[in-house]
Amino acid sequence: MEILMVISFLVLGLFLCLFLLKWNEIIIYHKKGLPPGTMGWPFLGETNEFLKQGPDFMKNKGARYGNVFKSHILGSPTIISMDPELNRYILLNEAKGLVPGYPKSMLDILGARNIAAVYGTTHKYLRNNMLSLVGTSLVKDRIFSRIDKYMKLYLSNWDSKIIDLQEKTMDMALLMAFKQIAEVESSSIYGAFKIEFDKLFIGSLSLPINLPGTNYYQGFEGRQNVIKILRDLMKKRRASAVTYEDMLDQLLRDLDTKYALNDDEIIDQIITILYSGYETVSTTSMMAVKYLHDHPKALEELRDEHFAIRKGKTADEPLDWEDYKSMRFTRAVIFETLRLATIINGVLRKTTHEMKLNGFVIPKGWRIYVYTREINYDPFLYPEPLKFNPWRWMDKSLETHNYCLLFGGGSRLCPGKELGIVNISIFLHYFVTRYSWDEIGEDQKILQFPRVEAPNGFHIKIMNLDKIEEI
Ligand code: HEM
């Protein structure tokens, strides 16, 4: 009798589990014409499996359901598209109701006037303002020389030190951006600012649980403190008769121009600039150094390129735009690093109304994960895709092919693309012409998903190149 009861409980439990697993599909998200796929547990969906299995989650689902399938991840019903044509279509057709769909925590902490939170005419307006600050001609005429000056300084005195390259490149990326925003004040306030900005950054990537002690809660605190520092700065600038040559000055002076912003918008725009270039520039720099270390031929060619630039200069002479334009192999190393490490796995969109894509019904408000990772390893586009081969990018047409979405595409194409490449190129210039380096420890772990990061840091020992040549 007891055995019968246990068996009945087990069977009941099994049915309950199966029912709960089907609950989302049958009751909550039931609709004819949806893409194939499963929605997982009520409320939780398949987030756990997605985060645990990473790229394999996508691969396994793709093998089972095809290039377009449905799931429930990160708190929202989501269509995952790994179809290159569809991905391109989605990025090029924001006007048809395919607007950014970033998670709540990110939007809450980055601000309501963050460029990724808006669309339509507001997006156009903020984007034009953004381009007037970081567009290529600005990088060439105003920003470049400042990056050169501070990067040279930043990379001095590293000789004989053991550093955590992950920490250093993150600091480098934020500092270089901060110097563009408030150059003069940066030396006195950057330290305090970075502590608060890091809280904001971590909070934006966390689950939206607003309880004391959570990253999300601290992210808000960070945002409030960042705002306070920026408001003080703006107040002081307004009270001063001095003119400065940096982005804050331009933002405050722009009041009569076509793309003037109010104070709240100025603050969100500054946070956006600092945030967008933070992890992208730092992780690409770190991974480029890692790949160069592992591929001595590529390092040799990169060094030759940079020594040829130095040859025509005195020791302290700065780099100029022409030097940057001549760094063809460096650019190839950066693109190959972005591809192979997949610094960006994809971008998020959501639908403003129900629509049909690839013959499937996509309900209003569903998120679409435009998953671009797989295309980075397409053997037709990139023969021997798992090999670090920067030479493949020496053919410039690869950078502009239809499915190269390393910097996004369409009306959201990264406005900081050239700025990011300039930062990394100048970093590599001073790094490889001054130093040689060895990794500490055989096997320093670098995670590839959901973000590229070294959970215990990435430690290297630095040696001055001069000293090595003397030996
Ligand atoms: C290696 C460096 C970088 C990479 C790989 C990168 C990549 C990307 C990608 C893939 C997007 C598209 C996002 C989407 O479609 O939702 C994007 C957008 C954006 N990026 Fe970058 N980025 C880099 C550096 C920078 C820098 C230095 C800035 C500084 C201003 C910046 C500012 C932005 C902004 C503001 C957007 C949003 C544009 C819009 O919504 O109109 N990025 N970036």
Look at residue 10 in the predicted model and tell me its pLDDT: 73
Chain centroid to Cα 339, Å, comes to 13
Distance 468 CA to ligand 1 centre (A): 39
Distance 34 CA to ligand 1 centre (A): 31
Give the nearest ligand 1 atom to 115 CA.
40
Look at residue 248 in the predicted model and tell me its pLDDT: 96
Distance 16 CA to ligand 1 centre (A): 45
Q: What class has domain 115-470? A: mainly alpha
Q: 138-147, 295-304, 449-458 — which is least confidently predicted?
A: 449-458
Q: Which residues line ligand 1 (CB under 6 A)?
A: 100, 115-116, 127, 130, 134, 272-273, 276-277, 280-281, 284, 338, 343-344, 347, 406-408, 412, 414-416, 419-420
345 by Cβ neighbours in 10 Å (0-12 / 13-18 / 19+) ranks as: buried
468 pLDDT tier (thresholds 50, 70, 90): low
Look at residue 82 in the predicted model and tell me its pLDDT: 95
Look at residue 444 in the predicted model and tell me its pLDDT: 86
Binding residues for heme: 414
pLDDT beyond 80 at 467 = no
pLDDT beyond 90 at 312 = no
Distance 305 CA to ligand 1 centre (A): 27
- Mean pLDDT along residues 430-437: 97
Look at residue 469 in the predicted model and tell me its pLDDT: 59
Distance 417 CA to ligand 1 centre (A): 7
Structural tokens at position 389: 């081969």
**Cα distances (Å, whole numbers) of residue 438 to 20, 407, 458:** 52, 31, 11
Look at ligand 1, atom 8, and give the residue with the nearest C-alpha. Answer: 407
What does R_g of the chain's alpha carbons equal in angstroms? 24
Give the nearest ligand 1 atom to 130 CA.
35
Q: Which of 179, 276, 452 to mutate to test the pocket of ligand 1 (most atoms within 8 A of CB)?
A: 276
The CA distance from 346 to 360, in Å, is 21
- Mean pLDDT along residues 289-302: 98
- Mean pLDDT along residues 66-80: 92
Largest CA distance in the chain: 93
Instruction: Please work out, in degrees rounded to the nearest 5, the angle formed at the alpha carbon of residue 330 by the alpha carbons of 327 and 336.
Output: 145
Q: 39-53, 180-194, 310-324, 372-386 — which is least confidently predicted?
A: 39-53
Give the nearest ligand 1 atom to 334 CA.
1
Distance 407 CA to ligand 1 centre (A): 6
43 pLDDT tier (thresholds 50, 70, 90): confident
The CA distance from 199 to 5, in Å, is 53
Look at residue 52 in the predicted model and tell me its pLDDT: 86
Intra-chain end-to-end CA distance of the chain, in Å? 85
- Tell me 453's DSSP state: B
Look at ligand 1, atom 42, and give the residue with the nearest C-alpha. Answer: 416
pLDDT beyond 80 at 31 = no
Question: For the chain, what are the domain ranges?
Answer: 115-470
Distance 214 CA to ligand 1 centre (A): 27
Distance 465 CA to ligand 1 centre (A): 34
What stretches of 143-268 adopt beta strand conformation (E)?
162-164
Give the nearest ligand 1 atom to 420 CA.
27
Look at residue 442 in the predicted model and tell me its pLDDT: 74
Q: Which of 285, 414, 417, 452 to mutate to test the pocket of ligand 1 (most atoms within 8 A of CB)?
A: 414
Name 355's bridge partners: 362
- Mean pLDDT along residues 177-183: 97
Look at ligand 1, atom 43, and give the residue with the nearest C-alpha. Answer: 414
Could you give the residue ranges of the DSSP H alpha helices within 365-438? 417-434
Total-model pTM? 0.93
Structural tokens at position 276: 């967008």
Look at ligand 1, atom 36, and give the residue with the nearest C-alpha. Answer: 414
Give the nearest ligand 1 atom to 348 CA.
16
pLDDT beyond 70 at 28 = no
Question: Which residues contact residue 434 at a Cβ distance below 8 angstroms, ignoring those fewer than 6 apart?
Answer: 155, 158, 464, 465
Mean of the per-residue pLDDT values of the chain: 92
pLDDT beyond 70 at 18 = no
The CA distance from 442 to 323, in Å, is 36
- Mean pLDDT along residues 177-206: 95
